[in-house]
Amino acid sequence: MTVRILDTTLRDGEQTPGVSLSVEQKLMIAEALDKMGVDIIEAGTAIASEGEFQAIRVISEAGLKAEICSFGRIKFEDIDAAADAGADSIFMVAPSSDIHISSKFPGKTRDEIVEMSVKAIEYAKERGLIVEFGGEDASRADFEFLIKLYDSAVEANADRLTFTDTVGVFTPEKAFETMQRLRERYSIPVAFHGHDDFGLATANTVFAVKGGADEIHVAVNGLGERAGNAALEEVVMALEFLYGVKTKINKQMIYPASQLIEKLSRVKVPPNKPIVGDNAFTHESGIHTSALLKNSQTYEPISPEIIGRKRLIVLGKHAGRASVEMIMKELGYKATPEQMKEILSRIKEVGDRGKRVTDADIRTIIETVLQIRKERKVELLDLSIVSGVNLMPTASIKLKINGKEVIEAGVGTGPVDAAINAIKKAIKDFADIELVGYHVDAITGGTDALVDVIVQLKKEDKVVTARGARTDIVMASIEAFIEGLNMLID
* Residue ending a domain, choose from 239, 265, 291: 265
Cβ neighbours of residue 416 under 8 Å, at least 6 residues apart? 473, 474, 477
Cα separation of 260 and 21, whole Å? 12
Query: Residue 287 — pLDDT band, cuts 50, 70, 90?
Result: very low
Burial 133-142 (b: 16+ CB within 10 A, else e): bbbbbbbbbe
pLDDT in tens, 154-201: 999 999 999 999 999 999 999 999 999 999 999 999 999 999 999 999
User: Does 296 lie in the same domain as 147?
Assistant: no
* Confidence (pTM): 0.74
User: Does 157 lie in the same domain as 110?
Assistant: yes
Cα separation of 108 and 11, whole Å? 27
User: Does 174 lie in the same domain as 51?
Assistant: yes
pLDDT in tens, 110-166: 999 999 999 999 999 999 999 999 999 999 999 999 999 999 999 999 999 999 999
Cα 240 vs. chain centroid, distance in angstroms?
20
The CATH number assigned to the domain holding 309 equals 1.10.238
User: Does 174 lie in the same domain as 109?
Assistant: yes
Task: List, in sequence order, the alpha helices (H) in 37-139.
Answer: 50-60, 76-84, 98-104, 110-126
Query: Residue 311 — pLDDT band, cuts 50, 70, 90?
Result: low
119 or 467: whose pLDDT is higher?
A: 119
CB contact at 8 A, 351 and 366: no
User: Does 418 lie in the same domain as 359?
Assistant: no
Does a structural domain hold residue 315? yes
DSSP labels, 311-358: -EE--STT--HHHHHHHHHHHT----HHHHHHHHHHHHHHHHTT----
User: Does 469 lie in the same domain as 343?
Assistant: no
Pairing assessment for the beta strands 190-194 and 89-95 based on DSSP bridges: unpaired
Helix axes 23-36, 50-60, angle to 10 degrees: 40
Does a structural domain hold residue 276? no
User: Does 349 lie in the same domain as 247?
Assistant: no
What per-residue confidence (pLDDT) applies to 289?
40
What per-residue confidence (pLDDT) applies to 291?
46
For Cα atoms 189, 194, 195, give the angle at the middle one, nearest 5 degrees. 165
* Residue ending a domain, choose from 352, 369, 386: 369
User: Does 196 lie in the same domain as 51?
Assistant: yes
User: Does 235 lie in the same domain as 110?
Assistant: yes
The CATH number assigned to the domain holding 154 equals 3.20.20.70
Query: Residue 348 — pLDDT band, cuts 50, 70, 90?
Result: confident
Cα separation of 243 and 340, whole Å? 45
The domain in which residue 176 lies consists of 4-265
Helix axes 286-294, 321-331, angle to 10 degrees: 60
Count CB neighbours of 226 within 10 A.
13
Cβ neighbours of residue 429 under 8 Å, at least 6 residues apart? none
Cβ neighbours of residue 300 under 8 Å, at least 6 residues apart? 281, 292, 311
Does a structural domain hold residue 231? yes
The CATH number assigned to the domain holding 421 equals 3.30.160.270
Cα separation of 389 and 400, whole Å? 32
User: Does 441 lie in the same domain as 341?
Assistant: no
432 or 140: whose pLDDT is higher?
A: 140
Count CB neighbours of 102 within 10 A.
12
Does a structural domain hold residue 270? no
* Residue ending a domain, choose from 213, 231, 265: 265
Q: Is the pLDDT of residue 268 over 60?
A: yes
Cβ neighbours of residue 297 under 8 Å, at least 6 residues apart? none
Please state the domain count of the chain: 3
Does a structural domain hold residue 395? yes
408: nearest Cα among 389, 388, 424? 424
Does a structural domain hold residue 212? yes
Which residues on neighbouring strands pair with residue 382, listed in sequence order?
Answer: 398
Does a structural domain hold residue 410? yes
What per-residue confidence (pLDDT) applies to 290?
44
User: Does 310 lie in the same domain as 254?
Assistant: no
Query: Residue 476 — pLDDT band, cuts 50, 70, 90?
Result: confident
DSSP labels, 183-217: HHH-SS-EEEEEB-TTS-HHHHHHHHHHTT-SEEE
DSSP labels, 89-118: EEEEEEE-SHHHHHHHSTT--HHHHHHHHH
CB contact at 8 A, 13 and 229: yes
User: Does 257 lie in the same domain as 120?
Assistant: yes
Does a structural domain hold residue 242? yes
